[in-house]
Structure 1
């Protein structure tokens, strides 16, 4: 079968290649999915460039891609609840062979029936952003009525997180550029801050939760806008102490991280606040809950561009450009 693979760390153009590989064989707890669509996420190009190699080192050539929508064509002996012919979607585990391929084998617990009212392309854009947002809100002890700041509201994560937050009863602040202000309002945000003209630090006050999707100084600044005892949950900032240990990083690296994390640690203590870096994990049951929200019309996928599988490397470059308004999708069939 045809698959896009990473051949080394570095430049996207030089280190991605289409290869002919064997179709995966399913284990007893897995299903084999014929891939109809997959989504490209920022983490995908970061992996190619080597930004995450301290956390997860690859053996080359390596499969790539985490989001998938397709049809089950084979099931393992121990699989229940999924059948051949089911239309499904998933955020596959990190040890899966990669979704940018004609077929992918996935542990059944990570797979869910896709929303009936979505195409394969629409469904493929939901798992990673959906699970990331749901798990961030869970980590941040979110409750109905909380005030939430979501940065980069027009991006793949932001455009989903706004809708999810509103579906759960939040008051939502978000930041975006001038051209996207009205569009982000239509997603449901209560207060849209045009970062080209406004400083969110002077607008957001006593937020219960900051969903940090940008990292850098935004992580430390999050503590300027949360309330006492509030939560900052990051997918782009520095690793917290527990997460660094869970990733198996050695003592020297953890010590360096602790020094870099010092401004965040000080800011956290001043507010008696909480900080957590999360790396999304697959969860078929949460995808079941997401399906219910989508079928009820509370969340709609936001698709920016759809590329044919043969154009996958171009899609990587577009994702890295930072111009995507919503999700970037690969159409496989």
Structure 2
């Protein structure tokens, strides 16, 4: 089979290459999937460039890609919930990364049945961004009906899904975006849209219940300026908090460094009696099934920007890297190449 792999750390053209590989066999708790479509995400670029080496150093070459939609080919001896021929989708666990391949084995607990009303390309757009926002907004922040939530970068892959998810849970959604995307994110369900090219959200907002920090750096610190006292900041791009660092199994030395780096943010949280948590998404088939129902019932719609054939995977990564995508970038393995 053909698979796209990271062969060395670096940029897109020097790091990624197609290689031939054997079709894997599923272990007892695994399922072999014929992949029809995969989406790509900023984390794939970060890993490729070596920006995640502090957390996990790769034994190159390795596969790339974490989202998939496809068809069950075979199941392990301990798997009874899936049968060959069923259509499924998943955000695979870190031990099974490599969805840009014609076949992949996946932990059965990370799978969910694909919504019947979606194509494989649409379904592949969901898992990582869906689970990330579900775990950040619903599981960790506990977003409630009627609460005000600020979601940065509403036109991106994460933002376009998070807006819809927050609305599905009855929140009042505020988002930031560029001038060209104001009307588009409003159609996704945003109640208030701030054009960051013309307005400063810090001048317009106050008493926000939940800030979903998707950008990090100064945005993490500034979240507390618009947050109500006792509010919640959940970040997917800010500094690690001590609890998340422990859950990741980071050794004591790096946790010490993380503690020093996170001190300014944690002080801001303490001064405002607020909650801060860095969310590292975990693959979870049960939660993905919950999300699947929202798509099946058309409460949330997939947001796909462009679909590339497998042979043009490097072009797809270049487009993702341009940061111009409105929604998700998909690679189709159904194109016959």
TM-score by length of 1: 0.98
Instruction: Show structure 2 runs of 5+ residues with no match.
Output: none
- Match in the other structure for 2:76: 76
CA distance in 1, matches of 2:84, 2:30: 12
Question: How far off its partner does 1:133 sit?
Answer: 0.5
SS of structure 2 residue aligned to 1:304: strand
> Within 5 Å, which residues of 2 pair with 1:282-297?
282-297=283-298
1:188-235: CA deviations, max 9, x gaps? Answer: 000000000111112221111111100010001001111111111111
Preserved CA contact (<8 Å) 1:109 1:284: yes
| Alpha-carbon distance change, 266 to 97 in structure 1, aligned in 2, over 3 angstroms | closer
CA distance in 2: counterparts of 1:249 and 1:282, whole angstroms: 19
Could you say what secondary structure the match of 2:95 adopts? coil
Q: Which residue of 2 aligns with 1:183?
A: 184
Contact 1:54 1:249 in 2 (8 A): no
**Further displaced range: 166-175 or 247-256:** 247-256
After TM superposition, the structure 1 = structure 2 runs for residues 178-217 of structure 1, keeping only pairs within 5 Å, are 178-217=179-218
How many angstroms apart in 2 are the aligned matches of 1:204 and 1:78?
52
Give the CA deviation at 1:254.
2.5
Aligned-partner Cα distance in 1 for 2:25–2:59:
19
| CA distance in 1 between partners of 2:177 and 2:14 (Å) | 33
Name 1:99's counterpart in structure 2. 99
Deviation at 1:7?
1.1
Name the counterpart of 1:274. Answer: 275
More moved, 249-258 vs 219-228: 249-258
Q: 1:223–1:97: structure 2 CA closer, same or farther, 3 Å change rule?
A: closer
Shift of 1:57: 1.5
Instruction: Answer yes or no: is the 8 Å Cα contact 1:97–1:105 preserved in 2.
Output: no
CA drift at 1:253? 2.6
Give the Cα–Cα distance (whole angstroms) in 2 for the partners of residues 109 and 246 of structure 1. Answer: 20
Structure 2 match to 1:224: 225
Rounded Cα–Cα distance in structure 2 between residues aligned with 1:12 and 1:176: 27
* Equivalent residue pairs, number: 333
Secondary structure of 2:4's partner? strand
Tell me what 1:13 maps to: 13
- Give 3-state SS (helix, strand or coil) of 2:94's partner: coil
Q: Give the deviation of 1:97 after TM superposition.
A: 4.3
RMSD of equivalent CA atoms? 1.0
Counterpart in 2 of 1:52? Answer: 52
Q: Deviations over 1:128-156 (max 9, x none)?
A: 00000100011012111111000000000
**Superposition misfits of 4+ residues, deviation over 6 angstroms:** none
Q: What TM-score does the superposition give when structure 2 sets the normalisation length?
A: 0.97
Q: SS at 1:165's partner residue? A: helix
SS in 2 for 1:323: coil
Alignment of 1:107-256 (within 5 A): 107-137=107-137, 138-256=139-257
Distance 2:274 2:328 in 1: 32
SS in 2 for 1:95: helix
CA drift of 1:58 comes to 0.9
